[in-house]
C-alpha cells in the first residue's frame, strides 16, 4: 500500500514552528517511502480564517522547501489545485460532509439532538495502536460515561473538527496520520468514526510536543513560535529544517548538522523519540552559522541579496561580479542573514552617511593632514590590492610618526560609515580606487 500522508493546518494567523515540524515529518516520511504528501487547508472556521493566513502557510512551506504532491497551488480558495482527491480546502467540501452525515443518520449511527447531530460513540474502551507512543487504551471518562455520544454537526449546521478531519482522511486515502501528541486524546473518537463507515483507520504516529527551553509548552506568544520569525531574522531555510529534524528525531552518532538528503534516507517513524523536545534558540543560531560557513558561494549570494532587498537595497543596480565580491567579504563574519546589511550595505550606497557626532568624535581637525596624506599616496598607487594597501598605510604611518590605528579607524569610517565590518583592505579593494578616494574626499570636506 502506497503511503499517503497529509499536513492539515488551520489558517488562523501564522505557521507555528510546531506545525512546520509536523509538516516536515510528514514530508520526510512521504519522501522516505516514495509516498504522497498532501496539503489540506482546514478553513471551516470562517470567523477566524483569512486569505492572508493561507498565503502565510503556503509561503512558509515553500520557504522551507516542503513541496506537496497534492493540494492547493495558490492561497485562493477558488484557485487551481494539483491531485485528484480535492478540493483541498475544507470550506469547499461541505457536500461531502453532508452526504456522510446522512449516511450515519440513515444507519442509526448518529441522531439529531436539540438541533445538532450527535454520533453514537462506542461504550467499550478503544485501543489506539500508535507507531510512536505504543498501544494506548482510551476509556470513557466519568463525564463521558453519562453521555458518551459527541456532536459531529453543530446546531448552526457546521460540522466539527473531529468529523471533517476523519471524512477528509477517509476520502483522500490517508494511510498514516503523523501529528502532535496533543491530538492523541481525540484519536479514540476518530477511530470510532472510521469504523462506523466500515473503513480501517489509518496508522497513527503522535509526535512529541515542542517545549520552551525551560520546559513550558510553547505558545503562540513565545519568542520563536512563528516560522516568519526565522524568515525575518535571516535564518537559512536549510538550517531551520535541519534543526526541526532534531526536535523529536535523532540520527546515529550524536550528529547535529545533517543534510536533508541524508535525513530523508534515514527517517522512519519508529525512530521518533518519545520525550518532548526543547527548543533551544542558541543551538539553532549556532547551526545557522555552521550552514553559512559551509554554504556554496551561489547560495550565500542568493540569500544575502534577499536580506538586502528586505531593507530596501537593490543590488541589481550594480555589476554582478562587484555584488558577489562585496558579499564574499562578509561570508565568514555573519551568523544570520539579517547581519548581512551591517557588513555590506556600504557597497551599495552612493554616499556614506557620516553623522555630525561621528565627525566631531572620530574626525578631529588635527587628523585632517594625516588623512589627506594617506589619500594622496593611495591616489598614486598603480595597484589597489589588499597587500599594497596594507603596506602603504603602514609606510605612511611611519612617515607621519603615528600609530597605524590613527589611520585605520578613520579610513574604515570614511569608506563604510561603520566601525566594524569585513577586512579593511579587502573591502577597499572591492570598492575600488575611485570610490575609496571619493569617500575619503567626502570625509575630508566635512572635517573642520
Write down the pLDDT at residue 426. Answer: 98
| Active site members | 220
- Of 3.30.420.40, 3.30.230.70, 1.10.10.350, 3.40.710.10, the CATH number of 350-448 is 1.10.10.350
Spell out the SS3 assignment of the chain.
Answer: CCCEEEECCCCCCCCEHHHHHHHHHHHHHHHHHCCEEEECECCCCCCCCCHHHHHHHHHHHHHHCCCCCEEECCCCCCCCEECCCCCCEHHHCHHHHHHHHHHHHHCCCEEEECCEEEECCCCCCEEEEECCCEEEEECCCHHHHHCCCEEEECCCCCECHHHHHHHHHHHCCCCEEEEEHHHHHHHHHHHHHHHHCCCCCCEEEEECCEECCCCCECCCCCCCCEHHHHHHCCCCHHHHHHHHHCCCCCCCCCCCCCCHHHHHHHCCHHHCCCCCEECCHHHHHHHHHHHHHHCCHHHHHHHHHHHHHHCCCCHHHCCHHHHHHHHHCCCCCCCCHHHHHHHHHHHHCCCCCCCHHHHHHHCCHHHHHHHHHHHHHHHCCCCCCHHHHHHHHHHHHHHHCCCHHHHHHHHHHHHHCCCCCCCHHHHHHHHCHHHHHHHHHHHHHHCC
Sequence ranges of the binding site: 220
**88-103 pLDDT, tens per residue?**
999 999 999 999 999 9
Sequence ranges of the binding site for ATP: 220
Indicate the pLDDT class of residue 1, thresholds 50, 70 and 90.
confident
Range in 96-110, 263-277, 381-395 the model is least confident about = 263-277
By percentage, how much of the chain surpasses pLDDT 70?
98
**162-179 pLDDT, tens per residue?**
999 999 999 999 999 999
Q: What is the mean pLDDT of residues 33-46?
A: 90
**350-377 pLDDT, tens per residue?**
889 888 888 888 888 899 999 999 999 9
**285-308 pLDDT, tens per residue?**
999 999 999 999 999 999 999 999
Mean pLDDT across the chain = 93
Q: What is the mean pLDDT of residues 134-159?
A: 92
Cα distance between residue 258 and residue 38, in whole Å: 25
Residue 203 in grid coordinates: 496508522
**407-433 pLDDT, tens per residue?**
999 999 999 999 889 999 999 999 999
Write down the pLDDT at residue 142. Answer: 82
pLDDT surpasses 70 at 77: no
**101-138 pLDDT, tens per residue?**
999 999 999 999 999 999 999 999 999 999 999 999 99
Kindly list the domain boundaries of the chain, sorted by start residue: 4-208, 350-448
Bigger pLDDT: 41 or 215? 41
Superfamily of domain 4-208: HUPs (3.40.50.620)
pLDDT surpasses 70 at 79: no
Amino acid at each position: 500500500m502506497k503511503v499517503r500522508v497529509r499536513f492539515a493546518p488551520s489558517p488562523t494567523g501564522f505557521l507555528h514552528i510546531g506545525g512546520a515540524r509536523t509538516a516536515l515529518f510528514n514530508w520526510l516520511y512521504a519522501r522516505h517511502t516514495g509516498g504522497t504528501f498532501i496539503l489540506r487547508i482546514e478553513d471551516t472556521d470562517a470567523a477566524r480564517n483569512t486569505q492572508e493566513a493561507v498565503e502565510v502557510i503556503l509561503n512558509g512551506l515553500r520557504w522551507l522547501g516542503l513541496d506537496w504532491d497534492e493540494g492547493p497551488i495558490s492561497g485562493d480558495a477558488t484557485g487551481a489545485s494539483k491531485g485528484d482527491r480535492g478540493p483541498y480546502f475544507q470550506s469547499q467540501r461541505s457536500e461531502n460532509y453532508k452526504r456522510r452525515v446522512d449516511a450515519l443518520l440513515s444507519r442509526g449511527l448518529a441522531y439529531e439532538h436539540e438541533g445538532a447531530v450527535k454520533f453514537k460513540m462506542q461504550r467499550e474502551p478503544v485501543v489506539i495502536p500508535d507507531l510512536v507512543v505504543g498501544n494506548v487504551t482510551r476509556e470513557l471518562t466519568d463525564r463521558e460515561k453519562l453521555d458518551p455520544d459527541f456532536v459531529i454537526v453543530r446546531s448552526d449546521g457546521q460540522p466539527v473538527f473531529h468529523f471533517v478531519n476523519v471524512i477528509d482522511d477517509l476520502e483522500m486515502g490517508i494511510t498514516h496520520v503523523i501529528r502532535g501528541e496533543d491530538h492523541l486524546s481525540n484519536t479514540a473518537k476518530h477511530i470510532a468514526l472510521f469504523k462506523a463507515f466500515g473503513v480501517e483507520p489509518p496508522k497513527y504516529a503522535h509526535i512529541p510536543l515542542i517545549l520552551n527551553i525551560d520546559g513550558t509548552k510553547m505558545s503562540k506568544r513565545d519568542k520563536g513560535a512563528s516560522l516568519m520569525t526565522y524568515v525575518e531574522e535571516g535564518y537559512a531555510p536549510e538550517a531551520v529544517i535541519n534543526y526541526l529534524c532534531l526536535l523529536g528525531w535523532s540520527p546515529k552518532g550524536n550528529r547535529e548538522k545533517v543534510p536533508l538528503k541524508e535525513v530523508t534516507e534515514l527517517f522512519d517513524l519508529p525512530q521518533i523519540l518519545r520525550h518532548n523536545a526543547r527548543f533551544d534558540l542558541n543551538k539553532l543560531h549556532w547551526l545557522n552559522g555552521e550552514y553559512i560557513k559551509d554554504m556554496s558561494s551561489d547560495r550565500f549570494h542568493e540569500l544575502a541579496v534577499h536580506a538586502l532587498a528586505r531593507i530596501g537595497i537593490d543590488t541589481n543596480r550594480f555589476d554582478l561580479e562587484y555584488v558577489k565580491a562585496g558579499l564574499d567579504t562578509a561570508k565568514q563574519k555573519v551568523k544570520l542573514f539579517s547581519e548581512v546589511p551591517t557588513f555590506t550595505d556600504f557597497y551599495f550606497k552612493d554616499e556614506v552617511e557620516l553623522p555630525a557626532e561621528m565627525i566631531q568624535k572620530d574626525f578631529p581637525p588635527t587628523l585632517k593632514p594625516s588623512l589627506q596624506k594617506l589619500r594622496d599616496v593611495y591616489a598614486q598607487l598603480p595597484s589597489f590590492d589588499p597587500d599594497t594597501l596594507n603596506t602603504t598605510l603602514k609606510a605612511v604611518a611611519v612617515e607621519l610618526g603615528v600609530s597605524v590605528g590613527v589611520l585605520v579607524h578613520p579610513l574604515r569610517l570614511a569608506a563604510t560609515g561603520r566601525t566594524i565590518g569585513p577586512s579593511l583592505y579587502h573591502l577597499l579593494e572591492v570598492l575600488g580606487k575611485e570610490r575609496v578616494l571619493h569617500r575619503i574626499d567626502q570625509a575630508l570636506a566635512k572635517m573642520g
